[in-house]
Amino acid sequence: MANTANEAAHGAAAAAESAGMPQLDFSTYPNQVFWLVVTIVVIYLILSRIALPRIGSVLAERQGTITNDIAAAEELKLKAQEAEGAYNQALADARVEAQKIIAEAKAEIQADLDAATAEADAQIAAKSAESQKRIDEIRAGALESVTEVAKDTAKEIVAALGQSADARTVTAAVNARLKG
């Protein structure tokens, strides 16, 4: 086992003098330090000259774009609110207008209705007055006819009883009866 470890150490010793830990082989230090410094300087130059300004500007540009977009959105929102207000105003106006039109129409209809009703009433009144007159005429006619019929009937009855009666007497008697 010790032999194996020795062998391993020997194998390593071909490149590294220290047993087991190449990290402690100081002969490689100048080499590593040199290449590290070169690497760090190259990376620093790449980053500070190209990469970081580029990424920084991209981020700033994005931030600017976002800020602009947010401002534009705010503006559009205001516009939308304005439009909504105008729309609501228009709606309210239209509603008031509609109410007015409805009221006007109602008044007009009412007026028409009133006029028609009045006319109809007048016509009805005229018709009923005329009818009344006719009825009165018919009644008067009927009364006259009653007198005539009564006189004739009385004359016929008197004649049938075999007596002759003076027309004037009969008439007077009928008239007296009718009145009575």
Partner 1 sequence: MASEAHGESAGLTFHPMDQFIVKPLFGGDTINWYTPTNVTLWMGLTIVVIFLLLVVGTRGRAVIPSRIQSVAELAYGFVYQMVEDVAGKDAIKFFPYIMTLFMFIVFANFLGLLPMSFTTTSHFAVTVVLALAVFITVTVVGFVKNGTKFLGLFWVSSAPLALRPILAIIELISYFVRPVSHFIRLAGNIMAGHAVIKVFAGFAQITAVAPLAVLAITAMYGLEVLVAFIQAYVFTILTCVYLKDALHPSH
Task: By CB under 8 A, name the binding residues for partner 1.
Answer: 4, 7-8, 11-12, 14-16, 20-25, 27-40, 42-44, 46-48, 50-52, 54-59, 61-62, 65
Structure tokens at 58: 């991209």
14 vs 161 by CB, closer to partner 1? 14
**Minimum Å distance from CB 75 to partner 1?**
20
Q: How far is the CB of 87 from partner 1 (least distance, A)?
A: 35
Report in angstroms how near the CB of residue 37 gets to partner 1 at its nearest: 7
Residues 27 and 33: beta-carbon distance below 8 Å: no
φ, ψ (nearest 5 deg) of residue 10: -65, -40
Residue 156 and residue 143: Cα distance in Å, rounded?
20
Residue 62 or 100: the one with the smaller Cβ distance to partner 1 is 62
- Residue 144 CB-half CA count within 13 A: 6
